Structure 1
Amino acid sequence: MMTSLTSAHEAAPSAVTDERIIAPEPPPARSGRRKRAGGLTPYMLLVPSVAVLAAIIGWPLIQLFIMSFQDFGRAQVFGAPAPFIGLDNYAKILIDEAFWQVLLRSFAFCAVCVVATMILGTLIALMMMRLGRFFRLLLSVGLLLAWAMPALTATIVWGWIFDTDYGVVNNVLVNAFGLDFVQHSWLINPLSFFFVAAIIVIWGAVPFVAFTVYAGLTQVPDEVLEASQLDGANSFARFRLIIYPYLKSIFLVVIILQVIWDLRVFTQIFALQGIGGIKDQTNTLGTYIYQVSIGTGQYGIGGAIAVITVIIMMAISLYYVRQSIKDEEL
């Protein structure tokens, strides 16, 4: 008996030793450069779309950039050589007071539209969370109809609503409120012109914001909102302290897109100018580039203005990309 215990005792260290020998080695430390799954396959799949974008967007941008350094007019459209003039087009623009007025006007109009669109779209999204299924579906259909309407069609319809002789707005203000708006022209005055233009732009952009924010609101945990409500937080406090942090990335994306879209708005302004607006007093960047290029035939100067606009858009997009990268790192 003693012999068996002794042999078992002596065998224990060897078993432990054997177990240590056959134990698997720890996995190697991860290197700084990760090997992407799939190898070159994802990049090869991107080649067709990148080629299409390069042909449709990249090549025209290169041509625009080259044109901005040339004396390019109507003669060059019909084959005349375009002399290279360096930065002369940009110098003419930067000392032109009309360009700076248009730029400031565009930024002011964009700021008003973006703020109003974000506020209205967010309020509608919050209302959709409280509505019943039937009314939420009815509201969604109405928003989709407004969103699907082409910008030119919407501008013509709103132009009829604000028409000088037969407009609904003038008729209501005169007959219902007794105001002196008989044959009032909304498009002659630049301030009222942009008021009408802002209504059209906001009316068409609110559905996108409402649907996007509503989709984000459905992902906010109900338990957190109920707990905050039990703690006595009002609606504004719940939105500021709970909902907004959850939807911060969504708000950032939507705001950046709205800034880009509203800064380069063209159809609504151009159509309203055709109805009755004064072009020199109501130009934004889009219509100003069109009038300089097509109206006066100064394609080189128009190209330089377009390049400046592209640089502004790229700066805004770069800010969005940097913020997205910071959020991913957090």
Structure 2
Amino acid sequence: MPTEAGPAPGRSRTARRAARRRAARPWLLLAPALAVLAVLLLWPLARVVLLSFQDYGLREINTGESDYTGLENYRRLLGDSFLWTTVLPNTVLFAVGCVLLTVVLGTLVALLLTRLGRTWRLVCSTVVMTAWAMPAVTGTYVWIWIFDPLNGVVSGGLDAVGAIEPRETNWFTDRWSFYAIATLNVVHHGFPFVAITVYAALLTIPRELPEAALIDGAGAWQRFWRITVPTLRPVFAVVTILSTIWDFKVFAQIYLMPGGDGANPEVLNLGVWSYLQSFGRNEYGAGSAIAVLLTLLLLVITVGYVKVLAREGEER
């Protein structure tokens, strides 16, 4: 009884080799970029992790020796009450507030741009991009000048109406006012990215969707939550994750403000604390442990947020 002949062994092997070559081709094209990323990102990260397991200071730098202490740096770090009562709350609360305000303000500006005429849209977009292009160092010094206790615009205005006595008011010594100024600084520098990104995404929404909702009697608020937000959810996810990463590792905006360089320990965050431990006290192992903790915190938050978005996408 005749049987169907299967594919020839030689032809099958040739097909498998061709499939493997097709699968490997994208990786070969990406190999140079991946090699550069490995050198610039993965090796420094691995070096920081290795240092976090060592008692590494000036002596080790001079001698080139390694003094591995295991998890001692992490035990000291996690057992330090200063981490739990000051540094970690400063880092987390500040970042959460900045991310929320940045995304909300950026979205409002994007919605405003969609309603402006061509000329005013160009003017507003230029102003927004100028704020984004301002270096963090320059922007920080501008906000320091605005809130200068003696010569600042805010202190001068409040003094004019008799609300404060400038010589008795220093906005940078109090923990809450310090971070309020830092929040204004970070949000001012970060909202343009959200505004331009969301505005570009708004242009991709078909006009038929909001027009149909308007005919059905939906108000502006309902159209935003029922049409705009679900449609732009991936865009909001991207800007939120990126803003979270940026705001958790804020350094210049804290370090350059009066007291943020360690003179006022009550305002330290994880990034500045790691820098001061490493380069201020020459305890590079302890500073590396703080940096690893910050990285793990960012990974947990980012992965958790991505999983929530993926779960919502599956449910829909």
- Given that 1:187 and 1:277 are in contact with CA atoms closer than 8 Å, whether structure 2 keeps it comes out as no
Please tell me the residue identity of whatever aligns with 2:58.
R
**Which residue among 49, 61, 70 is the counterpart of 1:77?**
61
CA distance in structure 1 between the partners assigned to 2:92 and 2:313 by the alignment: 30
Task: Work out the number of aligned pairs and report it.
Answer: 295
1:58 positional shift: 1.1
Per the TM alignment, residue 80 of structure 1 is displaced from its structure 2 partner at its CA by 4.7
1:39 paired to 2:18: no
Residues 103 and 194, structure 2, Cα contact 8 Å, conserved in 1: yes
1:130 to 94, 101, 115: 115
Equivalence for 1:243: 228
Distance 1:309 1:220 in 2: 37
Which structure: larger Rg? 1
1:256 corresponds to which of 241, 254, 257: 241
Aligned to 2:12: none
Q: Retained in 2: the 8 A contact 1:187–1:276?
A: no
Relative distance call for 1:170 and 1:236 in structure 2 (3 A) is same
TM-score (norm 1): 0.84
Q: What letter matches 2:60 in structure 1?
A: Q
- Provide the residue aligned with 2:79 in structure 1: 95
What are structure 1's unaligned runs of at least 5 residues? Answer: 1-34
Q: Which moved more, 1:206-215 or 1:165-174?
A: 165-174
Matching residue of 1:186? 171
TM-score by length of 2: 0.88
Partner amino acid, structure 2, of 1:253: V
Partner of 2:140: 155
What RMSD in Å do the two structures reach over aligned CA positions? 2.1
Partner of 1:114: 99
The residue type equivalent to 2:258 in the other structure is Q
Contact 2:254 2:261 in 1 (8 A): no
Aligned AA (2:48): L
Residues 214-233 of structure 1: pairs in structure 2 closer than 5 A: 214-233=199-218
SS for the counterpart of 1:273 is coil
Opposite residue 70 of structure 1, the aligned amino acid is Q
Checking the alignment, whether the CA contact within 8 Å between 1:70 and 1:83 is kept in structure 2 is: yes
Deviation at 1:143, TM superposition (A): 0.7
More divergent stretch after superposition (80-89 vs 309-318): 309-318
**CA deviation map 1:163-202 (0-9, x unaligned):** 1111111112222x43224243111111111111000000
Matched to 1:40, the amino acid is: A
